[in-house]
């Protein structure tokens, strides 16, 4: 199916065939859900040994009684777990509570209100504050900016990461830009891994940008590979050290999609100066994080090897679901002009771009047919996808037959929305 050169007559014929197929789907009264980027119950069960793993032994390697208050920056062995996940030195890691999103919000708030370096470095002194958001991206990042009144400036995501020409031009020309969101490995939602060149250029942004510029490097999917020889993300901390820009990047990760999503452990990795600023802020928020959960996690995942073996079990559950999505898209759309997508080899999402102006209608048609999709626009700041093209597909929770069924509906809805849109353009 090629819509660009199709005659009106041909489009009308396709529309009639697709409408019949769609009616047949409606009659099935399906109830399927591709919205949620969270682990399935089977995946969560992989970590059930966490429960009771301490068997009464609450003492950390350094003798800390983990049941008590204190330890603002985390147990040494928990820092090592974070270091294993983020590929940094344990000395650069701070261990928080259960959510990296909370840490991202807290670091953003600290940078805005109190300054990570000192009071004078607080972004609030600089009038309007802007953040670069590669799009499509993660909606909860946008909510953090929105809550703090930080204006979001979009740049396109490419298959190698954010469009770095656009990013560099922005930071050079606009001193109110104070940072940038990045999901560098298996980005949410496009699933791309930033290339070595992209990582290098991001590490150098600190040389081009105005003072107190911070990249928020949300490495939520750093060990979430679906294949054995997974692409390797270049080490941003080492790159910033080479360029003398260590303070310009703050990294985040968590075990949310490694162990139990709601009761994992979250981490920050940053320069000594940034860690000091973050700790100063956290010291007013808490007497210390949940160290019992930290030590449970370190006993469950005591080494890099244990972590890798554990993630292989997740991959075995996720792989057939991703295959179901990708093969349905290939079968329906290879060689057509109906859509574009990446083929992620890790993470939680497949991101599909429809033809211009067709995403909302596709999501609406799918919803009517009993297949819930993330609302179109959610992957853009303020919920507005200017070209109305992007749809995020999250296949982790449904069973494989459910994913296959939902994708049959999805491709029919994309085709129907596209053909109807093309008819309107021609009529």
The residues binding ligand PMP (CB under 6 A) are 37, 99-101, 138, 183, 188, 218, 220, 254, 256, 266
User: Are the C-beta atoms of 246 and 78 separated by less than 8 Å?
Assistant: no
C-beta of 36 vs 364, nearer to ligand PMP: 36
Residue 267 phi/psi, 5° resolution?
-135, 150
Report strand pairing: 390-393 vs 350-354.
Answer: antiparallel
Cα–Cα distances (Å) from 108 to 115, 171, 219, 408, in that order, read 9, 18, 16, 41
Residue 251 CB, nearest approach to ligand PMP (Å): 12
* In contact, 40 and 396? CB cutoff 8 Å: yes
Q: How far is the CB of 37 from ligand PMP (least distance, A)?
A: 5
How crowded is residue 305: how many other Cβ atoms within 10 Å of its Cβ? 10
Nearest one of 176, 171, 109 to 145, comparing CA atoms: 109
Q: Toward ligand PMP, which CB reaches closer, 101 or 406? A: 101
Q: How far is the CB of 255 from ligand PMP (least distance, A)?
A: 8
Compare residues 106 and 254 and give the one whose CB is closer to ligand PMP: 254
- Cβ nearer to ligand PMP, comparing 101 with 295: 101
Bridge partners (DSSP) listed for residue 181: 216
The nearest distance, CB 144 to ligand PMP, in angstroms, is 10
Least Å from the CB of residue 159 to ligand PMP: 18
354 to each of 41, 201, 340, 417, how far by Cα in Å? Answer: 31, 30, 7, 9
How is residue 156 written in tokens? 């396109």
Residue (147 or 426) nearer to ligand PMP, CB? 147
**CA distance between the termini of the chain:** 19
> Closer CB to ligand PMP, residue 220 or residue 404?
220
| Cα torsion 126, 128, 132, 137: sign | positive
Least distance from C-beta 120 to ligand PMP, angstroms? 30
Residue whose CB is less far from ligand PMP, 82 or 115 = 82
Cβ nearer to ligand PMP, comparing 184 with 405? 184
CB 330: neighbour CB atoms within 10 A? 12
Nearest-10 crossing angle of helices 8-27, 400-426: 150
Q: How far is the CB of 217 from ligand PMP (least distance, A)?
A: 11
Spatial separation of the C-alpha atoms in residues 84 and 301, rounded to whole Å: 10
* CB-CB contact of 369 with 26 (8 Å): yes
Provide the minimum distance between the beta carbon of 134 and ligand PMP in the complex, in angstroms, as a whole number: 12
């Amino acid at each position: 199916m090629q819509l660009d050169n199709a005659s009106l007559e041909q489009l009308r014929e396709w529309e009639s065939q697709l409408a019949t197929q769609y009616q047949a789907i409606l009659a099935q009264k399906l109830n399927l859900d591709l919205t949620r980027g969270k682990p399935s119950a089977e995946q969560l069960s992989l970590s059930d040994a966490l429960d009771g793993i301490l068997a009464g032994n609450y003492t950390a390697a350094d003798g800390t009684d983990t049941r008590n208050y204190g330890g603002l920056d985390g147990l040494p062995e928990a820092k090592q777990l974070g270091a294993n996940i983020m590929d940094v030195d344990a000395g650069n890691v701070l261990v928080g509570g259960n959510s990296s999103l909370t840490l991202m919000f807290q670091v953003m708030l600290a940078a805005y209100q109190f300054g990570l370096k000192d009071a004078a470095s607080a972004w609030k002194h600089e009038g309007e504050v802007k953040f670069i958001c590669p799009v499509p991206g993660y909606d909860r990042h946008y909510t953090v900016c929105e809550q703090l009144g930080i204006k979001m400036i979009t740049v396109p995501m490419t298959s190698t990461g954010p469009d770095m020409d656009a990013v560099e031009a922005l930071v050079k020309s606009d001193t109110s830009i104070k940072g940038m969101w990045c999901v560098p490995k298996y980005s949410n939602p496009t699933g791309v891994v930033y290339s070595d060149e992209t990582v290098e250029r991001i590490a150098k942004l600190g040389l081009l940008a105005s003072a107190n510029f911070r990249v928020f490097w949300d490495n939520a999917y750093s060990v979430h590979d679906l294949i054995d020889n997974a692409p390797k993300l270049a080490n941003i901390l080492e790159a910033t050290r080479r360029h003398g820009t260590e303070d310009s990047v703050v990294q985040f990760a968590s075990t949310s999609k490694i162990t139990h999503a709601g009761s994992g452990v979250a981490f920050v990795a940053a320069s000594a100066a940034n860690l000091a600023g973050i700790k100063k802020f956290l010291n007013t928020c808490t007497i210390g994080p949940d160290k019992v959960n930290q030590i449970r996690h370190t006993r469950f995942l005591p080494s890099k090897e244990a972590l890798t073996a554990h993630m292989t079990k997740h991959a075995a559950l996720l792989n057939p679901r991703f295959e179901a999505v990708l093969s349905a898209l290939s079968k329906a759309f290879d060689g057509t002009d109906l859509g574009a997508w990446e083929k992620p080899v890790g993470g939680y999402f497949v991101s599909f771009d429809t033809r211009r102006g067709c995403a909302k209608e596709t999501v609406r048609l799918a919803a009517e047919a009993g297949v819930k999709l993330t609302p179109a626009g959610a992957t853009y700041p303020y919920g507005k996808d200017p070209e109305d093209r992007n749809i995020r597909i999250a296949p982790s929770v449904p069973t494989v037959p459910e994913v296959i069924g939902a994708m049959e509906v999805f491709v029919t809805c994309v085709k129907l929305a596209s053909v109807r849109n093309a008819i309107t353009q021609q009529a």
